[in-house]
Structure 1
Amino acid sequence: MERLIGRVKRVTGPVVHIDGVSDAMMMELAHVGKERIIGEVVKLAGDSAVVQVYESSVGIAPGDEVYGEGMPLSVELAPGLIGSIYDGIQRPLQALEAASGAFMARGISAPAISYEKRWSFTPKVTQGNKVNVGDVLGVVPESSAVEHRIMLPAHVGNGATVEMVQVAGEYLVDEVIFKVKSAQGKEYELTMVQRWSIRTPRPVKERLPLDIPLITGQRVIDTLFPLAKGGAVALPGPFGAGKTMTQHAVAKWCDADIIVYIGCGERGNEMTDVLNEFPHLIDPRTGKSLMERTILIANTSNMPVSAREASVYTGVTIAEYYRDMGYHVAIMADSTSRWAEAMRELSGRMEEMPAEEGFPAYLPTRIAAFYERAGLMCNLNHSHGSVTIIGAVSPPGGDFSEPVTQHTKRFVRAFWALDRSLAYARHFPSISWIDSYSEYLPDLQGWWQREVSEEFTKNRNTMVELLLKEDKLQQVVKLVGADALPESQQFVLEVCTMFKNAFLQQSAFDKVDQFSTMQKQAKMLGLIVRYWQLGSQAIRNGAHLVHIRQLDAVRALVRMKLTVPNEQLEEFDAMELALEQAISQTEGRDA
């Protein structure tokens, strides 16, 4: 219930100091001044408090009243989230544009979901059923790709009895569709809407091992540096290295059920591209718009800095809500560096003691709290769902030793380091095979053996060893040239060059190459490793590299990513047979 909690004492940017506080709570949702600017109580000390506001504080004057809502900053969770575009505190940008034009008026607000649209509801319980927290009470078709599941909210508790259920039909989200009586005898009227504090993780029954990969269709990721469903990965890189485009590719092609894209602090033109392009992207799984399983949260660098700090929590809370329904959700956070910079500015405004490079001392704690909300979970209703976090990091000048990148590395188990030189050479995805790593490899090995190939892990390790060997040989090449190396070492350079161009480099504009199934990746990888084995043996037997390099069967390997579709894997067997025959002939000719 709203009540007066104090009056403005002074204003410092997005930070408002109030005094005369007698009844306020930490992290309480507040409204400041005549325009009712939304804020949050972030500090309490005696009869004083500090409120960070989520809009410009211009015009707020000493003596203005500050009201508290008696609840923390929360998100509305109901049918209608899918396909929506929100700002950092879940205000629907399309509705605000309709109300005030392209430039939002201060203090303007709108419901996060439509209270006028009717949804087709089908109950899944009957009168007299016993239900527990998280149990699915009914379903609503939210989009062609997502079935929204109405779950028993946590405040009711376990062991509740269903007293009333509406019949199947169309209802508004705020209409009462259930009446339940808790185990303590308290009666509740339930609608399709739930509210949840953005800074409080939603409860789960159990955290499960991360042993299922998130298939992205990007070969450098799936084969060399895989990410598990429920995992967390950092995607650092300098300006122009391809962070946003890599996230776009993963968002489109990964096998997550739902995508939550958080543009926290990115440039306005980049977020505009996302808003313009995503509705036109075709979901390869359904053939319909990608927005039918996507939620966008736009909080660009020219929008209020404090709302940027809240945007990542808004996104991860929405993701957890769909995870509780049993969905696999992927979060794209672009970029967490801007989020950290927002915390730095707010910390400075509140006159807190700075730590390294001016960031607050609690920066590692905040980063950890965000990434720890990822996971593969057994939900309270015994379904399994996951939240996977892919966080872009924008270190100034591409310096990976700066605090945000270093602290992020402590809390994620995969690191996709983008290389500026690869991006400038138009080698995309520009993920460095030297600086990147994934700690999910041992956990996913069993899945690879069951679902892909028993030789997949062995072949992958072979190529990683060759890439490391090639990196060392390149130091020698810079000094004496490649021709000074023996042919066996020149062949290492040859195979690695082929692997980079024919496997790691991928075109998002080619219909055959833009996505590779794990089966195709395994076949391509196996064929390149087979080329390494056959060629090495031939050179030891007296064949010359120049003759091997000129073989038509070898040239076919370079083009295989473009010529062999995912559905025609038998062609790889024919290519391998042709390769074996051709290389064997070079041994005889050179002898």
Structure 2
Amino acid sequence: MLLETSGRIYRVAGPLVVAEGLKPMMYEVVYVGEEGLVGEVIAIRGDKSYIQVYEDTTGLTPGEKVVATGKLLSAELGPGLIGSIYDGLQRPEKVIGEITKDIFIRRGLKVSALDRSRKWYFEREKSLNVGEKVEAGYIIGYVRETPIVIHKIMIPPGVSGILKWIANDGEYLVEDTVAVVEKGASKYDVKLYQVWPIRVPRPFKDKLDPGEPLITGLRVIDYMFPLSKGGKAAIPGGFGTGKTVALQEITKWSHADIAVFVGCGERGNEMSDALTSFLKLMDPRRNRPMMERSVFIANTSNMPVAARETSVFLGVTIGEYFRDMGYDVIMVADSTSRWAEAMREISGRMEEMPGEEGFPAYLSSRLAEFYERAGRIVTLGKPERVGSLTLIGAVSPPGGDFSEPVVRGTVRYVQSFYALDYGLATRRHFPAVNWLLSYSLYISYVKDWWNKLTDNEWESYREVAMKILQREAELSDIVRIVGPEALPEDDKLTLEIARMIREDLLQQSAYVPTDAYSPPEKDHLIMKAIITFYNKARYGVSEGIPVAKIRELKSRTMIARMKYHTLDDLKGKIFKEVIETIEREFSELLR
């Protein structure tokens, strides 16, 4: 006789298994078949339970056992996360490789997410005393996880009471109890790690407005379409436009304390390339390896499609955990379109009524569940701290069609939109962000930060640059018909300055170290030189100087070379020399 916690397979349809005789709750984790494949209940219809299986279902047959665990799909959160590479079920891939001696993950394999044998040095919070009342979010101690990340051990959400005992400084396993909280007759043992359901947003005290920009090192984003800490952004683009490279660059160079990179259904060679480069890279602000502040979740295209959803929610849960410590976290998902394709496949196998282009009707709400977990917040507990989680998702519309459902669904929830252009990519203009289609709704929030950094010049300079680029687009049709030489001199100047903005400011090379990452001060110095040149040239044109002569000036070449210099060199003497050369050359032209 079957227990209430077990049932039998009724039907198998790829990653979807229908079980009967099971009495589960929604989103409960179940073990399917003799090998105990991990699955999740996604629908209950009468006595039939529809299970999304996160491993290969080849060989499963009706009648095999299905066991309910009574638990939701959860993440283990504690020391050992940083520097790890997980699959969509938070199984450490390095450990799996050591066990299986194979490049593929064996199905049914169960491995702890955190190393149970490694000891961590725990240092208790000195201001916290036994007998004090504690609540969720209180920091009880610290673990130096890497040289640049201090892991703060917190009271888990939902736990409060009197601190009855706290461990002394020393080495402990993640499963060791380091504090005991008592409330009435119940006691709760606080360990170095905690478990949290990945579909449930972690609680916080208050949500704050955006304020400070998240510097990414990419000038087209930082200067023209800024992204705020705690913001939401999408990077849509067709095949070959550079989505993955752009996301990798943002993850590498962003001014975030913690970076979480989720490869959701992407090609294995792309994930391999990202991992290889991260292992070699140094953090430019801390001069330490990038892996000492990064977490990778690799769910490649040859893995079961259902696990793409878990990889996205696992990544955002890990991001929220570090956010609760008071860190600025960036989480990148490449790409949400692969996740949407997995939803479409599962929905089709469940025989649900399809929406537009076959995607399920709940596509938009699932995207909202993901993006709405971003934000800049005041955390629970003491000491009071502010943390942020910034979410950036790539979207891969077929044929670069931005009117398809995933792009349109994403646009509803993001506030920065970086549209990648195939035409720019074919001209080797990277990052291939189309400045006419892209936008940021964070400009009004970050303008005070930028204006303070640039002596109130950023807002006006950015506005001038955008007007020049828009005017260039208006003139492009005329140029195609009559050629640039038929234009009046002021329009010729507009085209020349637009080319300077495109090539000398917005275009970057990931292969030149001094240009791959550009700090905000450097962005502004380049723009200031271009605007200074533009103002002088505009006056010169009004005095009858032809644009052909202006184009040949030495200062034009000096501006083009500015992006290849370091910020220290620019601030030292190069920027001053560029401005002096502009002044001198235009004075000579006007004599």
Fold similarity call, TM over 0.5: yes
Check whether the contact 2:337–2:395 (CA below 8 A) recurs between aligned residues.
yes
Q: Which residue is equivalent to 1:152?
A: 155
Q: Which residue is equivalent to 2:239?
A: 239
Show the 5 A alignment for 1:31-50.
31-50=31-50
State the 1:92 CA deviation: 1.0
State the 1:240 CA deviation: 1.1
Find out whether 1:121 has 2:122 as its counterpart. Answer: yes
Distance 2:568 2:442 in 1: 25
Distance 1:511 1:305 in 2: 37
Q: Which residue is equivalent to 2:59?
A: 59
State the 1:66 CA deviation: 1.0
Deviations 1:63-85 (A, max 9, x none): 21111111100000110000001
Distance 1:377 1:505 in 2: 34
Show the 5 A alignment for 1:465-544.
465-544=467-546
Distance 1:579 1:51 in 2: 68
Distance 1:257 1:500 in 2: 31
State the 1:207 CA deviation: 0.7
State the 1:448 CA deviation: 1.1
Deviations 1:29-51 (A, max 9, x none): 10011100100111112222111
State the 1:275 CA deviation: 2.2
Show the 5 A alignment for 1:75-224.
75-100=75-100, 101-124=102-125, 125-157=128-160, 160-182=161-183, 184-224=184-224
Check whether the contact 1:6–1:19 (CA below 8 A) recurs between aligned residues.
yes
User: Matched residue pairs, number?
Assistant: 583
State the 1:500 CA deviation: 0.9
State the 1:567 CA deviation: 5.0
Q: Which residue is equivalent to 2:576?
A: 573
Deviations 1:182-222 (A, max 9, x none): 2x442111211200000000001111001110011211111
Report the residue type matching 1:499 in the other structure.
I
Check whether the contact 2:5–2:69 (CA below 8 A) recurs between aligned residues.
no
State the 1:566 CA deviation: 4.0
Q: Which residue is equivalent to 1:267?
A: 267
Check whether the contact 2:232–2:390 (CA below 8 A) recurs between aligned residues.
yes
Distance 1:85 1:516 in 2: 28
Distance 1:460 1:276 in 2: 36
Distance 1:453 1:85 in 2: 43
- Between 194-203 and 99-108, report the one with greater CA deviation: 99-108
Distance 1:498 1:341 in 2: 41
Distance 1:140 1:270, change over 3 A: same
Q: Which residue is equivalent to 2:17?
A: 16
Distance 1:320 1:558 in 2: 41
Distance 2:544 2:534 in 1: 15
Secondary structure of the corresponding residue to residue 70 of structure 1:
strand
Check whether the contact 1:487–1:545 (CA below 8 A) recurs between aligned residues.
yes
Distance 1:567 1:374, change over 3 A: farther
Distance 2:329 2:435 in 1: 27
Secondary structure of the corresponding residue to residue 5 of structure 2:
strand
Check whether the contact 1:118–1:170 (CA below 8 A) recurs between aligned residues.
yes
- Between 352-361 and 6-15, report the one with greater CA deviation: 6-15
Deviations 1:94-124 (A, max 9, x none): 1111111222222011000100000010011
- Between 556-565 and 481-490, report the one with greater CA deviation: 556-565
Q: Which residue is equivalent to 2:369?
A: 369
- Between 441-450 and 116-125, report the one with greater CA deviation: 441-450
State the 1:128 CA deviation: 1.7
Secondary structure of the corresponding residue to residue 498 of structure 1:
helix
Report the residue type matching 1:232 in the other structure.
K
Report the residue type matching 2:354 in the other structure.
P
Report the residue type matching 1:91 in the other structure.
R
Distance 1:429 1:335 in 2: 17
Distance 2:498 2:568 in 1: 23
Distance 1:467 1:156 in 2: 55
Distance 1:496 1:386 in 2: 36
Secondary structure of the corresponding residue to residue 43 of structure 2:
strand
Distance 1:517 1:33 in 2: 54
Find out whether 1:417 has 2:416 as its counterpart. Answer: no
Quick one: which of 447, 450, 453 aligns to 1:448? 450
Distance 2:276 2:456 in 1: 43
Secondary structure of the corresponding residue to residue 235 of structure 1:
strand
Secondary structure of the corresponding residue to residue 102 of structure 1:
coil
Q: Which residue is equivalent to 1:379?
A: 379
Structure 2 unaligned spans of 5+ = none
Distance 2:244 2:262 in 1: 11
Distance 1:413 1:475 in 2: 31
Distance 2:512 2:35 in 1: 52
Distance 2:60 2:5 in 1: 16
Structure 1 unaligned spans of 5+ = none
Secondary structure of the corresponding residue to residue 155 of structure 1:
coil
Report the residue type matching 1:583 in the other structure.
F
State the 1:450 CA deviation: 1.9
State the 1:3 CA deviation: 6.5
State the 1:449 CA deviation: 1.6
What do you get for the CA RMSD once the two structures are aligned? 1.3
Check whether the contact 2:562–2:570 (CA below 8 A) recurs between aligned residues.
no
Find out whether 1:586 has 2:589 as its counterpart. Answer: yes
Report the residue type matching 1:556 in the other structure.
M
Report the residue type matching 1:206 in the other structure.
D
Distance 2:238 2:538 in 1: 38
Report the residue type matching 1:145 in the other structure.
I
Q: Which residue is equivalent to 1:253?
A: 253
Secondary structure of the corresponding residue to residue 412 of structure 2:
helix
Report the residue type matching 1:463 in the other structure.
A
Report the residue type matching 2:537 in the other structure.
G
State the 1:587 CA deviation: 1.8
Q: Which residue is equivalent to 2:360?
A: 360
Secondary structure of the corresponding residue to residue 305 of structure 1:
coil
State the 1:129 CA deviation: 2.3
Q: Percent identity?
A: 45
Report the residue type matching 1:177 in the other structure.
V
Distance 2:40 2:138 in 1: 32
Find out whether 1:315 has 2:315 as its counterpart. Answer: yes
Query: Displaced runs of 4+ in structure 1, greater than 4 A?
Result: none
Report the residue type matching 2:181 in the other structure.
V
